[in-house]
């Protein structure tokens, strides 16, 4: 990332660069509140962690981490870096919103925690203030019978998403008690976008193919997709139906398996 920014002239005002990779922020922990992942944890380390693989509820994270290719990038890219990039087309941002992640920031003025959803403000823009850095990503412990999934459509296997979507579903007595549908790459506005109407329509419904299909339809209809070099908005809208349907089906299947 550093050199991407440098080559676009985005580092011209920078005089000092501090390497934070040795601050001991590479860890994956779990406590009663949920997962706590240090900002300097690489994708490879996160993927291999027992904790992220411990519940199907965290499936979106595992999916997103392994969807980032190639392995040379996974070995070096960090969760903190991906979230602070302000690039929703990366795979981690929508997945983090789907699992309701919070981020812990620290700076000269103290510490604060935000919902990750409120952290993304625009293209290359986040809520990070001057003098702050991201310390930890926290995934609150989801209730039992929660499943989440992430997938993306790409042209070849080392691509940024033409379209990506992360979903999560919580089942209570096999009915949907909570759902999230989050688009990442391929939407207008350069922030992860939730299809809230589609989410709300699922609540209290049984997790059937029909309900999933209608939610996918609604999500596709109510989201504004981007028109760019990679694809047209129209194509993305059509494929969104397919991706959301598959993602929700995955989340529901995982929710049924998730013991809490």
Binding site for other proteins (CB under 8 A): 2-4, 6-7, 17, 19, 21, 44, 69-73, 75-76, 153, 155-160, 229, 231-232, 235, 238-239, 242
Do the strands 28-31 and 193-194 form a parallel or antiparallel pair, or are they unpaired?
unpaired
- Smallest gap, in angstroms, from Cβ of residue 182 to other proteins? 20
Span between the terminal Cα atoms of the chain, in Å:
36
- Smallest gap, in angstroms, from Cβ of residue 41 to other proteins? 14
Identity of the residue, 5 or 144, whose beta carbon is nearer to other proteins in the bound complex: 5
- Smallest gap, in angstroms, from Cβ of residue 187 to other proteins? 17
Identity of the residue, 68 or 97, whose beta carbon is nearer to other proteins in the bound complex: 68
R_g (Cα) of the chain, nearest Å:
18
- Smallest gap, in angstroms, from Cβ of residue 207 to other proteins? 21
- Smallest gap, in angstroms, from Cβ of residue 19 to other proteins? 6
Identity of the residue, 3 or 108, whose beta carbon is nearer to other proteins in the bound complex: 3
How far is residue 45's CA from residue 25's CA, in Å, rounded to a whole number? 12
How far is residue 24's CA from residue 20's CA, in Å, rounded to a whole number? 9
Identity of the residue, 72 or 173, whose beta carbon is nearer to other proteins in the bound complex: 72
Cβ–Cβ under 8 Å, residues 88 and 185: yes
Identity of the residue, 71 or 206, whose beta carbon is nearer to other proteins in the bound complex: 71
- Smallest gap, in angstroms, from Cβ of residue 232 to other proteins? 6
Sign of the CA dihedral with 240 first, then 243, 246, and 248 last:
negative
Query: In this structure, how many other beta carbons lie within 10 angstroms of the beta carbon of residue 9?
Result: 8
Identity of the residue, 113 or 155, whose beta carbon is nearer to other proteins in the bound complex: 155
For 13, list phi and psi in degrees, rounded to 5. Answer: -90, 0
How far is residue 109's CA from residue 130's CA, in Å, rounded to a whole number? 10
């Amino acid at each position: 990332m550093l050199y991407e920014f440098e080559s676009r002239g985005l580092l011209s005002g920078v005089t000092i660069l501090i390497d934070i990779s040795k601050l001991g922020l590479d860890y994956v922990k779990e406590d009663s509140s949920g997962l706590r992942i240090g900002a300097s944890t690489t994708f490879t380390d996160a993927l291999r962690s027992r904790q992220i693989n411990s519940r199907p509820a965290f499936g979106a994270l595992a999916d997103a981490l392994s969807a980032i290719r190639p392995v040379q990038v996974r070995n070096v890219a960090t969760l903190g870096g991906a979230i602070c990039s302000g690039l929703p087309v990366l795979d981690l941002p929508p997945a983090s919103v789907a699992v309701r992640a919070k981020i812990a920031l620290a700076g000269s003025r103290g510490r604060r925690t935000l919902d990750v959803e409120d952290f993304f403000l625009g293209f290359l823009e986040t809520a990070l203030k001057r003098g702050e850095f991201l310390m930890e990503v926290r995934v609150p412990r989801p209730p039992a019978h929660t499943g989440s999934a992430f997938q993306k459509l790409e042209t070849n296997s080392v691509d940024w998403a033409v379209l990506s979507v992360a979903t999560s579903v919580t089942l209570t007595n096999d009915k949907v008690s909570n759902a999230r549908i989050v688009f990442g790459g391929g939407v207008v506005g350069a922030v992860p976008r939730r299809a809230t109407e589609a989410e709300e329509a699922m609540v209290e419904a049984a997790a059937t193919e029909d309900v999933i299909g209608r939610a996918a339809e609604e999500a596709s209809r109510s989201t504004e997709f981007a028109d760019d070099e990679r694809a047209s908005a129209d194509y993305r809208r059509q494929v969104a139906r397919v991706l959301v349907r598959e993602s929700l089906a995955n989340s529901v299947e995982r929710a049924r398996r998730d013991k809490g």
